[in-house]
Amino acid sequence: MNIAVLGSGQVGQTIGSKLVQLGHDVMMGSREEANPKAVVWAKEEKHNAVFGTFANAAAFGEIIFVCTLGSVTLDALYLAGAANLKGKILIDTTNPLDYSDEKHWKLTVCNTDSLGEQIQRAFPEAMVVKTLNTLYCTVMVDPEKLVETTDVFVSGNSATAKASVIKILHDWFHWKRIIDLGDITTSRAVEMYALLWRSLRLAKSSHSFNIKVVSH
Ligand SMILES: NC(=O)c1ccc[n+]([C@@H]2O[C@H](COP(=O)([O-])OP(=O)(O)OC[C@H]3O[C@@H](n4cnc5c(N)ncnc54)[C@H](OP(=O)(O)O)[C@@H]3O)[C@@H](O)[C@H]2O)c1
């Protein structure tokens, strides 16, 4: 399958590499056509990995992973172009974080709105599914590296898009526990979790963890 990964950071590279390993053709999108990180990533992958602008990648992908800096994700998607996103599933891994105070991260949107909702409103003809944003990137694509089976969440308005994403999470990344939280407004909760994730990361001195939901 042709897949777009919008973003040349850690998440884009980790997801992009996993998709290439699975045999997909991946185009990494950036603001520049030849972003140095994307060029190095494609070279290291050797096969099935190419790079281009956000618009080139979005046009190429049958499915689009959104892996851009949260505070500017809408800008990146406007560069990708509504016509290139139309009718496609957008797997939104972003968190709307403001890192200006290194000690106390803030959210650029929260409580009554979320980045997932903003993306869905801005691109109503795309099907946004928020997922994986509650995890460090290496855990996103390899949950089995954790010592227990843990949970990942999906949020989105389209039941068929969520079913496709659940299948991707299960079949490609081996997620066994996937909780459908509901429509895209449930992105608010998983985005606000980013602050707890940050506290846990500092408390545990590790990125490699996740939460597990248990009932009695
Ligand atoms: N790091 C993790 O493990 C992790 C875990 C969970 C969720 N997340 C979320 O995943 C997303 C990606 O995180 P990351 O650490 O991989 O990378 P990042 O540094 O947050 O984002 C890098 C991407 O953002 C793009 N970007 C930066 N400024 C831009 C602007 N002004 N306009 C348009 N695009 C711009 C960059 O474009 P260029 O390619 O052109 O430079 C690059 O592709 C974030 O929303 C983050 O909160 C990250």
Q: What is the pLDDT of residue 22?
A: 98
Q: What is the pLDDT of residue 77?
A: 99
Distance 68 CA to ligand 1 centre (A): 3
How far, in Å, CA of 81 to CA of 58, rounded?
A: 8
Phi-psi region for residue 107, left (φ > 0), alpha (ψ -120 to 50) or beta? beta
Does ligand 1 lie within 6 Å of residue 212's CB atom? no
Closest-CA residue, ligand 1 atom 18, reads 69
Q: What is the pLDDT of residue 154?
A: 99
Does ligand 1 lie within 6 Å of residue 70's CB atom? yes
Q: What is the pLDDT of residue 159?
A: 98
Counting as low any pLDDT under 70, the low residues of the chain are none
Does ligand 1 lie within 6 Å of residue 136's CB atom? yes
End-to-end C-alpha distance for the chain, whole angstroms: 41
Closest-CA residue, ligand 1 atom 38, reads 30
Distance 16 CA to ligand 1 centre (A): 14
Q: What is the pLDDT of residue 40?
A: 98
Distance 3 CA to ligand 1 centre (A): 18
Q: What's the topology of domain 2-204?
A: Rossmann fold (3.40.50)
Distance 63 CA to ligand 1 centre (A): 18
Strands 97-98 and 151-156: unpaired
Distance 208 CA to ligand 1 centre (A): 19
Q: What is the pLDDT of residue 106?
A: 97
Closest-CA residue, ligand 1 atom 43, reads 7
Does ligand 1 lie within 6 Å of residue 69's CB atom? yes
Assess contact for 127 and 156: CB atoms under 8 A: yes
Atom of ligand 1 nearest to the CA of 31: 40
Distances (CA, A) of 34 to 11, 25, 40, 57, 135: 18, 18, 10, 12, 28
> Considering Cα of 57, then 159, then 135, then 190, what sign does the dihedral take?
positive
How far, in Å, CA of 99 to CA of 205, rounded?
A: 19
Assess contact for 132 and 206: CB atoms under 8 A: no
Distance 71 CA to ligand 1 centre (A): 9
Buried b (16+ CB within 10 A) or exposed e, 173-186: bebebbebbebbbb
Q: What is the pLDDT of residue 80?
A: 98
